[in-house]
A and B are shown apart, each in its own frame.
Chain A
Amino acid sequence: EVQLVESGGGLVQPGGSLTLSCAASGFSFSSYWMHWVRQVPGKGLVWVSRIKSDGSTTNYADAVKGRFTISRDNAKNTVYLEMNSLRVEDTAVYYCVRRSAVAGTGDHWGQGTLVTVSS
C-alpha cells in the first residue's frame, strides 16, 4: 500500500524557518517525481514545488522561489521541503504528492502537515 506521511509542521514566527519531511513507503520511491501542494484551511489547492525522481530537476511556484528548497534522499525514501523567510501568507496545510507513473497528475497524497506562521 502506498503511504506518504508528512511531518515537521508547526508554529513559526514570520521570518523563521521550518523543514517538512515526507516519508514514503509501499512503492519504488526513486522512480517517481514528487510534489508539494499547499492549502490554506477552507481555501483551494496551490502547487508549491516538484522534484524529479533522481533529484536532478526542481521547480517552484513564483510565490516561494528563492525561499523554499525541495530535496530528496532516495536511500531514506524521503522528500523534504526547506522553508526559509516564512511569511504569514505561507500558513497552510502542506501535502506531499506522488506524481502518477502513467499520467502527469498526483495519484497519492499524504495526510498533510499544518504550518502556521504567526507572531
Chain B
Amino acid sequence: DIQMTQSPSSLSASVGDRVTITCRASESISNYLSWYQQEPGKAPKLLIYDASSVQSGVPSRFSGSGSGTDFTLTINGLQPEDFGTYYCQQSYSISWTFGQGTKVEVK
C-alpha cells in the first residue's frame, strides 16, 4: 500500500494566521491527492481534490499544491470554523490511503 505521511501531527494557531500542512506519499501518486477536514463527531468534508482543485462550496482561503510525492495544504487567514483535524488521502491506487491527520487547535 502507498503510505501517506503528514506533518506536523498537530499545531496551534490563531484566527487570521496562515497555516501550512504537508503530506508526503511513499511513491509517486501524480496529482491524485485530496484534503479533508474533520470536526469532532462529524464525517470528513472534502476540501481539495486533484491536489489543487477546490471543492465546490469551500472557501477560497483553502488552497492545495504539489504533485508526485510532496503536497501542501494552505489556509490563508484561519477562521474559527477551520479548527479540527485535516487528512490527506491518495486515490492513485485502488485502496485509498490516508495520512495520520493534523490536528489544528486554537492558540
- Chain A residues within 8 Å of B, Cβ to Cβ: 35, 37, 44-47, 50, 59, 61, 95, 100, 102-112
Contacts and interface: CB of A to CB of B under 8 A. Distances in A.
Contacts of B98: 44-47
Contacts of B87: 44-45
Interface of B: 32, 34, 36, 42-46, 49-50, 53, 55, 87, 89, 91-92, 94-101
A106 B96 CA distance: 10
A37 B34 CA distance: 15
Contact of B43 (A47, A95, A102, A103): A95
A107 B97 contact: no
B91 A44 contact: no
The 10 closest A-B pairs by CB, nearest first: A104-B91, A109-B43, A47-B96, A105-B34, A103-B49, A45-B98, A105-B91, A105-B49, A59-B94, A44-B100
Contact of A47 (B44, B53, B95): B95
Contact of B95 (A61, A102, A105): A61
A110 B43 contact: yes
A105 B89 contact: yes
Nearest to B100: A44
19 contacts: A35-B96, A44-B98, A45-B89, A47-B95, A47-B96, A47-B97, A47-B98, A102-B49, A103-B34, A103-B49, A103-B50, A104-B92, A105-B49, A106-B34, A106-B46, A107-B46, A107-B49, A107-B55, A109-B45
Contacts of A45: 36, 44, 87, 89, 98
Of listed B53, B87, B96, residue having the most chain A CB within 10 A: B96
A64 B98 CA distance: 17
Given A44-B98, A103-B91, A112 B43 contact: yes
B96 A109 contact: no
